[in-house]
Amino acid sequence: MTLQYALELIGTFVFAISGALAVREKEHDMFGAGFTGFITAIGGGTLRDILLDSYPLVWIGDIHFLYAILTGILAAFIFPNLLSRLRKTFFLFDTLGIGFFTVLGVEKALSLGVRPEIAAIMGMFTAVMGGVIRDTLTNEIPILFRKEIYASACLAGAVIYLVLDHLETDRNYNLLISMSVIISIRLIAMKYKLSLPTLD
């Protein structure tokens, strides 16, 4: 539990950094960069909890998440060049983050009593909707719609979690396996530049 909580805070911190850095080549000022980092970090979980009527929202009920975000934004302000050079490392952290938050999102949805099909969608939303909102606000077509095997990796991992959960797999094994699926799909797709077909 304490490990999970620490990982949630670290994941939020990482998402805030990547959100703030995402607008570097845009015309955003520092406030805009911070705002974008904030939205990226809270967006997915917030949308999930609003859809499921689960209040208070995580970052409103527990102030540590706000501090994790502010620390991430501050890091992006102080070390923008260093952090941008670490793009590959960051991509790895980001991938770990989406794997982790997908599975947590599934678990939270299940704990609120929804059906597994809905929980799978909520898991994916948790991981990817922060980025979708970020891209929409910065006037981009959200990246998940076009380039990467990204949200579909989350959905696949969520389904695997649910199947293993249905088979009463031990939770720790299940977390490990379904997160690994998400992370592997994304890393492999990135390495070999795999993408889904378009609708033609």
CA 83/CA 175 separation, integer angstroms: 29
**The one among 1, 3, 167, 199 contacting a second copy by CB under 8 A:** 199
For the segment 100-129, give every residue that binds a second copy (CB under 8 A): 114-115, 117-118, 121
C-beta of 1 vs 199, nearer to a second copy: 199
**By the rule CB under 8 A, 28 interacts with a second copy:** yes
In angstroms, the CA 155 to CA 69 distance is: 26
φ, ψ dihedrals at 113, nearest 5°: 90, 15
- Under the binding rule (CB under 8 A), the answer on residue 87 touching a second copy is no
Contact (CB, 8 A) for 180 and 102: no
71 binds a second copy (CB under 8 A): no
Among 68, 104, 110, 132, binds a second copy (CB under 8 A): 132
CA-to-CA dists, residue 189 to 125, 145, 170, 179, 195, angstroms: 20, 15, 28, 15, 7
| Closer residue to a second copy, CB minimum distance, 20 or 179 | 20
